[in-house]
Amino acid sequence: MSNDTTPPVRDNSGRFVKTAAEKVNAMSRTPEDGVHPMSRVLFGWTEARGIGGIIFWGMAGLSLLLVLLDLFIPRHEKIGIANSVGFYAIWGFAAFSFVVLMGWPLGRLLRRDENYYGDLSGPPADIDPAIADRLNAGEPKAFVGEE
């Protein structure tokens, strides 16, 4: 047995225990599968088999229930069309669809080219050639007045 290992720690009842620092360190390290332990605690249930179908059919059932309840709950809206059955379900679906579909033109408007900021392998093309030569030569990057 080598002397470079730390002796195990025992609690008052004689059981071997890990120190709190070891537990925290183990919780903060990402294991080899690349999934952080806290994300496994929070979102691990999403990996269960068939969870997508359960969520889909659960939401469909809830939506149907709310539309059916809409038949029996009287409304007193000022706009006549808002009193129709399922108006708010249709309005919500249309608004959600509009927002999702507006992501396409908004993305085209805001998205930039892959090399929008220039080539990242070297200095920008629009700087003084003397500075570019100095940067390419591997000299220190401090310039006159910068130290």
Tens-digit pLDDT profile for residues 53-67: 999 999 999 989 988
10-31: per-residue pLDDT in tens?
767 766 666 666 777 776 676 6
pLDDT of residue 49: 92
In a domain, 141, yes or no: no
pLDDT of residue 97: 95
pLDDT of residue 76: 81
CB 54 within 8 A of CB 46: no
- Only one residue has tokens 């006159």, namely 144
In a domain, 64, yes or no: yes
Number of independent structural domains in the chain: 1
Q: Which residues of the chain have pLDDT under 50?
A: 1
In a domain, 137, yes or no: no
- Only one residue has tokens 């002397």, namely 3
pLDDT of residue 55: 94
In a domain, 76, yes or no: yes
- Only one residue has tokens 């919500």, namely 92
Rounded to two decimals, what is the model's pTM?
A: 0.45
pLDDT of residue 4: 52
pLDDT of residue 58: 96
In a domain, 98, yes or no: yes
In a domain, 86, yes or no: yes
Name residues whose C-beta falls within 8 Å of residue 89's C-beta, 6 or more positions apart in sequence: 63, 66, 67, 70
* SS3 of residue 25 by DSSP: helix
In a domain, 11, yes or no: no
Domain that residue 84 falls in: 49-110
pLDDT of residue 124: 64
In a domain, 54, yes or no: yes
